[in-house]
Amino acid sequence: MKNFKTLLLVAAALLVSLSLGAKPKIRIIATGGTIAGVSSTSASSAYTAGQVGIQTLLDAVPQILNLADVSGEQLVNIGSQDMNDEVWLKLAKRINVLLNEEGYDGIVITHGTDTMEETAYFLNLTVKSDKPVVLAGSMRPSNAISADGPANLYNAVAAAVSPNTRGYGVLCCMNNQLLDAKTVIKTHTIDCDTFEGGPSGIIGYIYNGEAHMLQTPNNKHTINSVFDVTKLDRLPQVGIVYGYANASALPMQAFVDAKFDGIVLAGVGDGNFYKDVFDVAVKAQNQGIQIVRSSRCPTGPTCLNSEVDDEKYHFVAALDLNPQKARVLLMLALTKTHDWQEIQQFFKEY
């Protein structure tokens, strides 16, 4: 009996020491983008996104193996201009399984930078875990001189293994910086230093393989989000209409004719419509197509009941969300309700 107890204690001690020494288990989900892109000449900006697979990306940064027990899977291999609702649903469901059923400690997603902010925000609202989920991409293709992909991937894994990033929701990791899914925006078409966190700035940074956090997100996300895609195989259809001087009402009318579920206005200034577009928007809202007012201005909120009387028309103001993220939230909101006041409340909380 005494020997048996000793044996149990030794086994328990062995298990504890093994688990203390074990590296965090990180899954890399590859979706394509410039980080997996190949240029015909290494000095050229002409290249094709989504060419090399996950193993080639990992082979370029063997140092990652010092940080984590890393494995990878290729979900799709596309330029992120081709990202769509179907891939988003697949991605969110897969991440939930990996984190909640398969024991992974964190997820890194390689992704094109064009729509990275939208994917990040969609996942921020649909991942059901407080474990780190980090998106990384690059602005230069994998075989370019001074390719930025390897460092971004290494930093993203460093962020995903860090206890400091737990509970922060979904992050983007580019150019040594960590950006919050709600505020991150791509600001430059070609520079490596393209991502910014809006007026609140970056949420953290990576230095020497360590994540340092500067502030916490103040919106609901991940485990506190009501949005659940487990049983969804499609999302409501929501389009974006761009505002400009002398704007044509045709794009708005086309979405109405196609029976879209919602339309986001990338309005001028504080989410204002050109008068012809406004008339179609009022009719659309009366037909049950939810209108959300956002702005083409890169900074500043679209305020409720400012120049447009939202309460009168039952429009929703996007507040801090840019048009492309307002579209993401409206799609998810419409899976829950068609009440404009409840949808406005989601825009206040998320």
Closest separation between CB of residue 12 and ligand GLU, Å? Answer: 48
Choices 64-72, 74-82, 169-177, 233-241; region in contact with ligand GLU by CB under 6 A: 74-82
Q: Is 189 a catalytic residue?
A: no
* Per CB under 6 A, 141 contacts ligand GLU: no
Is the Cβ–Cβ distance between 235 and 328 less than 8 Å? no
Catalytic residue, chosen from 6, 31, 34, 216, is 34
- Scan residues 312-331 and list those touching ligand GLU (CB under 6 A): none
Find the part of the chain contacting ligand GLU (CB under 6 A) among 110-118, 171-179, 203-211, 330-338.
110-118
User: Is there binding between residue 49 and ligand GLU (CB under 6 A)?
Assistant: yes
Size of the site for ligand GLU (CB under 6 A): 11
113 near ligand GLU, judged by CB under 6 A: yes
Residue 51 near ligand GLU by CB under 6 A: no
Q: Which is nearer to ligand GLU, 58 or 317 (CB)?
A: 58
Pick 110 or 126: Cβ nearer ligand GLU: 110
CB of 331 to ligand GLU, least distance (A): 20
Based on the shown chain and the rule CB under 6 A, indicate whether residue 114 belongs to the binding site for ligand GLU: yes
Catalytic residue numbers read 34
Given the rule CB under 6 A, which residues bind ligand GLU? 33-34, 49, 79-81, 112-114, 137, 139
